[in-house]
Every structure is written in C-alpha cells, then in structure tokens.
Structure 1
C-alpha cells in the first residue's frame, strides 16, 4: 500500500492524474464527451479505457420524484396481495442507457483507441457478446470478464482474435496470495496493443 500511495502522490504532484468524480449516468456521459472533445488534439495517441461499470438501465432525471415517495401514494396492486402481506406494490419504470459508445467512436474521439469492457455471468456468452460489441460499435478492443472470476482472468477480444489473460495460479482463486491485481497484467497489454496500433497507422501514412 505504501508503494501505491507514493506512486499516487507522485502522479498528483506531477499533474499526471486528474480525478473527475461522478455519481450518475448523466454526469458520466457528459463528462466523457467533454474529455473526448478536449483530447481530440491528441489524435491517435489518445486512449480511452472505459472500465466504469455503467448500468444498462437507469431512471432519467425528468422521471425522478422530487421528494420522498410516500407509502400512501403507492396505488393498490391489481394482481393480488404482495408477499409482504400488503396489497400495494411499487413499480419502477427504467429506460435503457443511451448507446454512447458509437458516438464516442464516430464523433467524439474518431482517431483514438477505444477499449470497452463486457461483464457477463454466463461463460458461454462472453466471446459472442464481445464480438457483437466490436461489430456494433467498430472500436478496437473489448475486455471481457465473468463476474465470478473477474479478479483472476479476462478475455481480450479484437477483430479476428481472442486471448485470455490470467493471473498466475498462486495469485488467483486457488487460495494463494492476492497481492497481484489483474489490472497489473491488463494495463501493460493494453499499452502494447496501443503502441502496435500507432506503428501500424504510421506505416500506412
């Protein structure tokens, strides 16, 4: 922890780290767009590592209640009594989160490398879902993970290739040391692929 703290302080002192907190999907999307527009001058040297776990559904601000929902305001359920013994049931209507990734790729940061994440609970769906994301948004890399093993292994999926990245057995879920974080393997691999992308684009020019 001391080593991490020293690196954090050094990064802050050298102004290499800017922390921008957010608490809602709306603030996240507006902040991401603003950052992408500011970073556009970096061209293909920019890299977006979209690791924030954004929900697929949310309650839009215009549909949120201004004050506390009173139990007396909840209508009676028409489908019979609820399991709790009362006849009232609160139903929340959620909207899908706007598909911002396509906008990021095509308009906000068209030259940057875009890395997204795909979390699944069913291992049999992971590769399929990662490839679907690549096809739909035409970005560069999807890092897939399974909820139960997300701290120990991830799947790197690019167009035409897929590669698993694992922590060593002694550091994974076999009961060994947990000092090594999976991010210590992910980040260097992403950097390597970004550098490869830059060399490829330089050769084309």
Structure 2
C-alpha cells in the first residue's frame, strides 16, 4: 500500500515508513530497499533490541543515527526523532512554490 500511497493517493505528501528488524546486519539494507521500492522520503530503521535507545533515519542522501539523550534527561528516542522529522518536513514544504 505504500507505493499506492505515494503514486496515487498522495504523490506530493512527505512520506515516512518504518523498518523494524531483529538482525542489525540486514536492517540498513532492507531500509534502503524500502526507500527506493516505495518511494519514501525517509525510512526509520530500528533493531528490536535497541529500538528504545537508537534508530537510524535513512534518506536517499544519508543515514542519520538518532539516539536517546540520557544526559539531558530525555527518556525516549522519539523526542529526538520527532525533532528531526519536523525539521525535514519543514524543509520539504518550503520547497514548494505555493
């Protein structure tokens, strides 16, 4: 359904998918495949055992490690992930000449 979403339902939408794996060795490879196969703007890839500590955001240009910042008292990785996604979405939206 992700390809249908990108191709037919919302071709201009900023789309993100998620890839959860139990094997870190194939996680990034599968995220790259999902990125190109489904035409996503980013794939949030995480390993089952470390999903609460770190995720990797895969785009066509880079792989960004997002970690929970224990030193700032942040209890989850989601806060940092949300910041990154909001930033990237804002840049994407600004690229449109409306």
Q: TM-score, normalised by structure 2?
A: 0.90
> How many Å separate the matches in 2 of 1:109 and 1:199?
17
Which structure 1 segments of 5+ residues have no match?
Answer: 1-99, 172-176
Following superposition, the deviation at residue 198 of structure 1 comes to 1.6
> How many Å separate the matches in 1 of 2:50 and 2:40?
25
> How many Å separate the matches in 1 of 2:29 and 2:70?
26
Matched, 1:138 2:53: no
Which structure 2 segments of 5+ residues have no match?
Answer: none
Following superposition, the deviation at residue 183 of structure 1 comes to 1.1
> How many Å separate the matches in 2 of 1:200 and 1:159?
17
Higher relative contact order (CA 8 A, sep 6+): 2
Following superposition, the deviation at residue 109 of structure 1 comes to 1.2
Secondary structure at 2:96's aligned position in 1? helix
| Residue pairs, 1:49-60, within 5 angstroms | none
Secondary structure at 1:113's aligned position in 2? coil
Following superposition, the deviation at residue 135 of structure 1 comes to 1.1
Aligned to 1:198: 93
> How many Å separate the matches in 2 of 1:201 and 1:129?
30
The answer to which structure has the higher strand fraction is 2
Q: CA RMSD for the aligned pairs?
A: 1.8
The answer (yes or no) to whether the contact 2:45–2:57 under 8 Å persists in 1 is yes
| Residue pairs, 1:1-205, within 5 angstroms | 100-170=1-71, 180-202=75-97
- Which stretches of structure 1, 4 residues or longer, exceed 3 Å deviation after superposition? none
Q: TM-score, normalised by structure 1?
A: 0.45
